[in-house]
Amino acid sequence: MNQRTSSVKEQRLLQKAAKYMPGGSNGNMIHMDVVIERGEGSHVWDVSGNEYVDYALGSGPMFIGHAHPDVVKEVQERMTKSSTFFALVEPAIELAEEICSAMPCAENIRYASGGSEATLFAMRAARAYRGRDKIMKFEGGYHGMSDYALMSLAPSNPADFPDPVPDSAGIPKSIRDEMLIAPFNDLETTTALIDQYHDELGGVIVEAFQRVISPKPGFLKGLRDITSHYGIPLIFDEIVTGFRLSYGGAQSYYGVTPDLCSLGKIVGGGFALSAVAGKEEFMKVFDSANSSETGPMPQVGTLNGNPIATVAGLSTLRVLRETAGIYENTFAKGRRLQQGIREVLDKAEIPAQVIGHDALFDVYFTGDEIYDYRGTLKADKSKTIMLNSLLLERGIFKGETKFYVSTAHSDADIDFTLDAFNSAVGEL
């Protein structure tokens, strides 16, 4: 198996990045010694000419592969009409209709540009509707880069529930007072916390499928029941899972309908687009004509629902909607990859867990079961870092913590990946 090379051009670019960009990166901590030039289908190439099977997929949005011809064609056509107008455009309206027909909770939507914005606005909408300040999130849950979201995302020393731990410098201490932290997949503790704080809670936000950890049977339904009991808005963060676990997202896949959800990644087809979607009762806080006691909740964005991103999103969703068996075939490849990885690890007698869904999963080097964030802390992270580096050398490009499987991955890609994994584990 060929080892990757680094050209003079790539080294010069990396030197410029180190000079002009903090830490030599754009903030996304993935293979910072590689400069990617292009992608096609399930493969990407760096500026040195090395080719990789891509399981990062741009951190998830390229679910139907890079440079899909349908998306490219429609975006190119749309580009001739200008990029943005700060006004309503036809593709934004059409995409809104498609999202609302697909997502069980979606009766209205409001666009933004990134996942961090969408989850921030979803939390704000819940607080505006409920007239309460506190938000409950789950330890280890990722909801973007807002001050609220960066509470107990990845604490090395977790606090007692429900106390939050800030994950970043620069967050005001006052934010801690507005966030409550609960353990994912622990319905008993979560219910007790909601019972205790229900009169202060503006909303509860959760990744129905948290990072790569599946919900235990009954957890999401129990969460829906207790929030409904107290009239607390329930938010599903579907930035990752929307249109990935099923066309109707995690809420359709698990059969539990939230009041609000955040969407991103796939819905923008690789362009900057996100959205808050939800039942009209909760979404009316966005209406500038809202005359309720709290008044309207302004949400202005220069690129909200811009025509390029919404055309790319519409085209992407059309491929997913109209291609027979696309989800089943993609999930089958993901299952084969997971099973092959398990067999390699078992043969090498390396204690590890391969956890997640057929569409996204990862390897944790621990012999213990993982069902929440604290379970992931038992894993040997140094082995994960080394494995990712060894895989890169063998032509596999993946994120720090996930294998994303696309509709474009082929059986040959899976075979190549398993050969690379077997070789990497041998060295590991």
Residues assigned a catalytic role: 142, 237, 265
Examine the pLDDT at 90 and tell me if it is beyond 80: yes
CB-based contact 354:336 (threshold 8 Å): no
- Cis amide linkage into residue 162, ω under 30° from 0: yes
Q: What is the pLDDT of residue 30?
A: 73
pTM for the model stands at 0.96
Instruction: State residue 292's pLDDT score.
Output: 65
Instruction: Specify the pairing of strand 274-278 against strand 260-263.
Output: antiparallel
Start-to-end CA distance of the chain, whole Å, equals: 16
DSSP state at residue 362 = E
pLDDT at 295: 66
Single-letter code of the amino acid located at 66: H
Among candidate residues 361, 354, 355, the one with its CA nearest the CA of residue 405: 361
Q: 150 with 167: CB under 8 angstroms?
A: yes
What is the pairing mode between strands 134-138 and 396-397?
unpaired
What would the pLDDT profile of 150-189 be if each residue is shown by its tens digit? 999 999 999 999 999 999 999 999 999 999 999 999 999 9
Per-residue confidence band for 62, with pLDDT thresholds at 50, 70 and 90: very high
- Please compute the mean of the pLDDT values over residues 101-105 and round it to a whole number: 98
Neighbouring CB atoms inside 10 A of 254's CB total: 21
pLDDT for 138: 98
* Mean pLDDT for the chain overall: 95
pLDDT in tens, 237-294: 999 999 999 999 999 999 999 999 999 999 999 999 999 999 999 999 999 887 566 6
Domains of the chain in start order, with CATH, are 8-67+325-427 (3.90.1150.10), 69-321 (3.40.640.10)
- Nearest to residue 360, comparing CAs of 26, 15, 57, 114? 57
115-148 residues labelled b (16+ CB within 10 A) or e (exposed): bbbbbbbbbbbbbbbbebebbbbbbbbbbbbbbb
- In our burial notation (b when 16+ CB lie closer than 10 A, e otherwise), range 47-58 reads bbebebbbbbbb
- How far is residue 200's CA from residue 203's CA, in Å, rounded to a whole number? 9
> Which pLDDT score, from 0 to 100, does residue 294 have?
62
Mean pLDDT of 44-52: 97
Q: Are the beta carbons of 351 and 366 closer than 8 angstroms?
A: yes
Q: Are 251 and 257 in contact (CB under 8 A)?
A: yes
Pairwise CA distance, residues 319 & 71, whole Å: 9
Task: Using the Cα atoms of residue 194, residue 197, residue 202 and residue 205 in order, give the sign of their dihedral.
Answer: negative
Count the neighbouring beta carbons within 10 Å of the beta carbon of residue 214. 16
For residue range 395-428, what is the model confidence (pLDDT) as tens digits?
Answer: 999 988 899 999 999 999 999 999 999 999 999 8
Q: Minimal CA–CA distance to 129: which of 234, 22, 242?
A: 234
Question: Residue 428's pLDDT is what?
Answer: 87
> Do residues 130 and 202 make contact, with C-beta atoms less than 8 angstroms apart?
yes
pLDDT digit string, tens, across residues 346-371:
999 999 999 999 999 999 999 999 99
| pLDDT above 80 (res 1) | no
CB 328 within 8 A of CB 109: no
Q: How many CB atoms lie within 10 A of CB 150?
A: 22
pLDDT the model gives residue 2: 60
In the block, residue with structure tokens 């990752």:
240
